[in-house]
Structure 1
Amino acid sequence: MNKKLIAAILLPAALTLGGCATVSKEDLAEVRAIAEKAAADASEAKTMAADAGKEAAAAKTEAGEARAAADAANRKAEETETKIDRMFKKSMYK
């Protein structure tokens, strides 16, 4: 290819890219503000997740206690049913 043609294509492209590469202080301040807001939001989300984890652990403990109480009540009901069944069978033999 012709060197002049290559220069004619590359020079405007280089100038265009060079113009995009400059960043103003206002742009940096805006990016910094966005980053700080994102960091604050992430910190808040982390705190909320920790609180949710604590609540979930408490709910799991309560559910375990409720299950234990239900199991105890079920055992008691089965014992009572067995006693009633024995009493009924005894009364049938008399």
Structure 2
Amino acid sequence: MKKLSYAVVLVAAVSLVGCASNSDLDKVRAMAQQAQTSADAAQRSATAAQVTADQAVAQSADALARAASAENTANETDAKVDRMFKKTMMK
């Protein structure tokens, strides 16, 4: 009989502790969910920033190629003008 009484008291105590633990567990789950939501938002922001950076790199490479082409055109034009000037001076 005493063992049964102890068992009932033990089950009641475990049940009460279990309820408190479930409440605490729910709080921890909510905090974890909030942290996951924040992490997901940070990941989306980082991905968007990476896309923007990739676009900037592509535009920079395009601008560099255009500048090199313009420099070549300017050098060719300068050489033509020099040749024309020399021909004029020889006459």
TM-score normalised by structure 2 residue count = 0.68
Match of 2:38 among 48, 55, 67: 55
Report what 1:31 is aligned to: 14
Q: CA RMSD in A?
A: 2.2
Distance 1:29 1:21, change over 3 A: closer
**Which portions of structure 1, spanning 4 or more consecutive aligned residues, are displaced by more than 4 angstroms?**
18-22
Q: Which runs of 5+ in 2 are unaligned?
A: 78-91
**Percentage identity across aligned positions?**
18
Q: Give how far 1:28 is off.
A: 3.4
1:47 is aligned with what amino acid? A
Aligned residue number for residue 63 of structure 2: 80
- 1:89 aligned to 55, 64, 72, which one? 72
Q: How many residues align?
A: 77
TM-score (structure 1 length as normaliser) = 0.66
> Once structures 1 and 2 are overlaid, which stretch shifts more, 68-77 or 19-28?
19-28
Following the alignment from structure 1 to structure 2, what is the Cα–Cα distance between the partners of residues 51 and 72? 32
Alignment of 1:68 onto 2:51: yes
